[in-house]
Structure 1
Amino acid sequence: MSKDIGLFYGSTTGNTESCAELIATAIGWDRIDLHELAADGLDRLEEYRYLILGIPTWDYGELQEDWSDVWAELDELDLNGVKCALFGLGDQVGYGEWFLDAMGALHDKLVSRGAEMCGYFPINGYQYEASKALTEEQDCFVGLGLDEDCQSELTADRIARWVPTVLDAFDA
């Protein structure tokens, strides 16, 4: 039997996978199912009341290949009434002009499919040039921003601060 929370992620280098596992640990493994897109695709996504989706940004604001492979399938989903939180990985220094852009694109796609988004995270403590993952007010990212290249020492604390806000929004 599935749990209420499904976490789907794409990971090429293993960084997004490691962060997904840290998030699952913070939530509790008894409450969440992890799905790697390369292995599982999106087939089970609509089984969950609550979703957490993890997406790294590649190069110049591009989608990671696992997400690129399923991108068109997202247009077929009915996410009305589904609460969804995002986490994204990026490199503030090497690709500061495109920091977390893929997370912004995923956010917009999910909103267009009816998802109720939550888990926005303050931009304080980040040093980047531009991002398409900002809220309209530009004081938060549309999900948890993580940078394993330049700020990996802050990942555990950021996850610890983010997870309770997501669970509150999920009523879980």
Structure 2
Amino acid sequence: MAKIGMFFGTTSGSTRKVAKMIKKRFDDELMAAPLNINRTSVEDFSSYSLLILGTSTVGTGQLPGVSADSEPSWEEGLQKLADVDLTGKTVAIFGLGDQSRYPEQFVSGMRGLYDFVVAKGANVVGGWPTEGYEFIASKSVVDGQFVGLALDLSNQSGLTDSRLDAWLKQIAPVFGLPV
């Protein structure tokens, strides 16, 4: 079994695209294929000690899901995972947002994942600097940095690969990733 599990929630497919970009950089022994949180079981999620979680941001900074016009996603997934103990597990988070259209809640969806996994005992790694972005506010900024990798595919798509590579290099020592 792969040692890193990757789970994502999405509304438009962009988070899935980024999860696949990450996966392409690693073999099946190291990292499992990315799974949409709405298509996974508690057992699948719990079986990994190293997790990469990805999300988009919807509305006024919420996680995707719980909407009549969207598929189940993180909101429902976190309810399903309510009894999971993440003590001893290490989690890295990436989030997508649009800093031009939604500058008041840029990548704020990451905060919902961050708060959940921290409350469940996980160690979160992979905080990311806020420099290089133009936004007004984000719930995902803690101690002056994002709680995970912030990506804007709408306005800064040309920076995605280099940001992914730098972030993966940053978390590599903890996740046992080749540098």
Length-normalised TM-score, structure 1: 0.92
The 5 Å alignment of 1:147-166 reads: 147-166=152-171
For 1:128, the equivalent position in structure 2 comes to 135
Structure 1 counterpart of 2:10, which letter? S
Question: Any conservation in 2 of the 1:5–1:32 contact (CA below 8 Å)?
Answer: yes
The 5 Å alignment of 1:1-172 reads: 2-33=1-32, 34-65=34-65, 66-136=73-143, 138=144, 140-172=145-177
Deviation at 1:111, TM superposition (A): 0.4
CA distance in 2, matches of 1:15, 1:42: 24
CA distance in 1, matches of 2:40, 2:156: 29
Deviation at 1:12, TM superposition (A): 2.0
**1:84-107 superposed Cα distances (whole Å, 9 cap, x missing partner):** 000000110111101111101210
Cα RMSD for the two superposed structures:
1.4
**Which has the larger displacement, 61-70 or 29-38?**
29-38
CA distance in 2, matches of 1:93, 1:133: 17
Deviation at 1:73, TM superposition (A): 2.6
**1:88-147 superposed Cα distances (whole Å, 9 cap, x missing partner):** 0011011110111110121011100000110111111111100011122x1x21000011
* Unaligned segments of structure 1, at least 5 residues: none
CA distance in 1, matches of 2:140, 2:63: 13
Question: Any conservation in 2 of the 1:86–1:103 contact (CA below 8 Å)?
Answer: yes
Deviation at 1:168, TM superposition (A): 1.1
Deviation at 1:170, TM superposition (A): 2.2
Question: Any conservation in 2 of the 1:56–1:88 contact (CA below 8 Å)?
Answer: yes
Question: Any conservation in 2 of the 1:90–1:99 contact (CA below 8 Å)?
Answer: yes
More helix as a share of residues = 1
* Unaligned segments of structure 2, at least 5 residues: 66-72
**1:48-104 superposed Cα distances (whole Å, 9 cap, x missing partner):** 010000011012212111011112233311000001000000110111101111101
Q: Size of the alignment, in residue pairs? A: 169
Structure 2 counterpart of 1:113, which letter? K
The SS at the match of 1:6 is strand
